[in-house]
Amino acid sequence: MDDMEKWPEVEKAAAEKRRELVLQGPGVDQRISSDGGLTRSVYSLTLLNYLEISQCPSLTEIHEDIQHLTHLQSLIMCRNKLSSIPDVIGRLGSLKVLDLSVNNLRVLPQGIVQLRELNTLNVSCNSLEVLPEGLSQCTKLSTINISRNHITGFPADLYSERLDLLSSLVASDNCIQELSADIHKLSALKVLDLSGNQLTEIPPDLSDCPKLKEINFKGNKLNDKRLEKMVNGCQTKSILEYLRGRGRGRQGEDGGDGDGGRNADKKKRQQQRKKKEKVADGQDEVEELNKMVVRVLHVSDAPTALTVRVTAEVKDVRPYLVCCVVRGMNLKSGNSLKRFLMAQTKLHDDLCGKRTTATIATHDVQLLKGPLTYDVKPPTQLKIVPLGRKEMTAVELIRHLHLEAEELRKQKKRQNVTGLHKYLQLLQGKPLYPCLIDGEGHVISFPPITNSEKTKIKKTTKELLLEVTSATSLQTCKDVMDALIVKMAELNKFTAEHQEEAGSDGEGDGPSEPAVTSSEMSSELIIQQVRTIDQDGNLKVVYPSKTDLSKDISNLTVVW
């Protein structure tokens, strides 16, 4: 049997020039075991920018041919049994995310330090004893997770001013014995977790990190018993103040000519720290005011998550689709629903090119049944309850819209039309129309025209299914979805800040509409991944992946 035939996911990815490929679970593991390793055909998919191979205990090594995947931005190889990674991984010059967690790695290849675009490194839950020297060359690193290994210390160059974007360093449950005073050089550090190690001292210089917000030193036997008690019970701010005071005390006790230079350096650094703190405090105030948080829940964390099956027939009509579920969007307060609908309309007019490049649809998750199917139907057979109308076929709806458009032209004596009427030409000449169908066979979306009244979002909607379709490209769908989620985060933040009362605009569902509780005023959005699969159950796309929502938006924090 041809190698590609044994790996239909790889064959499909090659045929359709896909940018993403996910191989995981028992079925994939069984093939890896019977073939004596991962199929080499994976390494011929040179267009991939996202590759995930996970939960495969039979996978013990990666072939050097991985160096051919030069467009990779995310490489996820977690929960396997990898014992080594080839040094040629350093040739993946576009790589931003590298996840090698939960494997059997004893050493990392030196080539990792050549990954100049790398911003996230996760090698937690392995058997590593050291980190490679030279990580300071990866100047875009913002997150490092090395927890649950056997590491005894950090390489000296990790404490480098070149790593001025490193904001999170998680190294819990290792064998680290010393934290250098040079830790203060990591000027962007916000999170430091060294719990469960073998530290006896915490350098006072740690208090010179101007942005530090969260530290964890629990489980270390510190010589300073008061400090040990504090790290087990006090907040970060109190611990840093104690360290700062202890640093001043030590400076006064030091003596001798050799110590004079150190004291002068220390004093100078304290002055610099105070200046940095003033700047940082101002920046943090702005950041806190503008902060928007989006938390991503993985499909694996929700076994009953919605999936969308895409039929082969949509390929010639409107082939591209991404979906996700959003929780935490406050639509109850005041004008929040109206603002959201207006924002969606603006995205349709601008980024979506008046729906010519992409179309957005939103649904109340509580009003639909999964699984969903993205399919095509002849205009005479596609039945939908359009927003604000009674049930009709697509033929009847198009005819009604044409008649309404003609009437509007006569009344206003102009050629331009508004509303749904301006999208009618997008379907001209199409023998089949695209539609999204729920588990009960109801058409809930008819892009690019309308979605269904049955799943219409209201003020009471708590979970939204977002849907973006396009005839242009998958990346177009993702770009629009990214923009929509960012806009939702902005709107949610605005609503939370203004604490509007529910129903204040007269749009409530009735006089007994409940007031908005404080828990409902949180601005955090939770995005549940949705998988899009083909007719055989093979993954086409999962949104959001780690390469999505990754554009530089300074006030947006994405928590994976």
Q: How far apart are CA 30 and CA 284, in angstroms?
A: 50
pLDDT of residue 514: 45
pLDDT of residue 12: 87
What is the band of 275 on the pLDDT scale with cuts at 50, 70, 90? low
Weakest mean pLDDT among 98-102, 360-364, 470-474: 470-474
CATH topology of domain 1-127: 3.80.10
Q: DSSP characters for 40-93?
A: GGGGG-TT-SEEEEESBTT-----GGGGG-TT-SEEE--SB------GGGGG-T
User: Could you read off the pLDDT of 182-236 as tens digits, one per residue?
Assistant: 999 999 999 999 999 999 999 999 999 998 988 999 999 999 999 988 888 877 8
Residues in the chain: 560
Q: How far apart are CA 151 and CA 158, in angstroms?
A: 14
User: Could you read off the pLDDT of 168-184 as tens digits, one per residue?
Assistant: 999 999 999 999 999 99
What is the band of 464 on the pLDDT scale with cuts at 50, 70, 90? very high
Domains of the chain: which residue ranges?
A: 1-127, 145-253+276-290, 292-392+432-559
Pair 318, 471: CB distance under 8 Å: yes
User: Could you read off the pLDDT of 121-158 as tens digits, one per residue?
Assistant: 999 999 999 999 999 999 999 999 999 999 999 999 99
pLDDT of residue 412: 63
pLDDT of residue 288: 45
pLDDT of residue 357: 85
Q: How far apart are CA 336 and CA 332, in angstroms?
A: 7
Q: What class has domain 145-253+276-290?
A: alpha beta
What is the band of 77 on the pLDDT scale with cuts at 50, 70, 90? very high
Q: How far apart are CA 516 and CA 511, in angstroms?
A: 14
The mean pLDDT value for 363-376 works out to 92
pLDDT beyond 60 at 320: yes
Pair 352, 359: CB distance under 8 Å: yes
Weakest mean pLDDT among 125-134, 284-293, 522-531: 284-293
What is the band of 504 on the pLDDT scale with cuts at 50, 70, 90? very low
The mean pLDDT value for 409-432 works out to 62
Q: How far apart are CA 558 and CA 560, in angstroms?
A: 6
Domains 1-127 and 145-253+276-290 share a fold: yes
Half-sphere CA count of 321, side-chain side, radius 13 A: 34
CATH number belonging to the domain at 292-392+432-559, selected among 3.30.420.40, 3.50.40.10, 3.30.930.10, 2.60.120.260:
3.50.40.10
3-state secondary structure of 466: strand
Pair 211, 284: CB distance under 8 Å: yes
User: Could you read off the pLDDT of 333-349 as tens digits, one per residue?
Assistant: 888 899 999 999 899 88
Q: How far apart are CA 405 and CA 29, in angstroms?
A: 57
Q: What is the pLDDT of the chain when averaged over all its residues?
A: 82
The mean pLDDT value for 18-33 works out to 88
Q: How far apart are CA 59 and CA 24, in angstroms?
A: 11
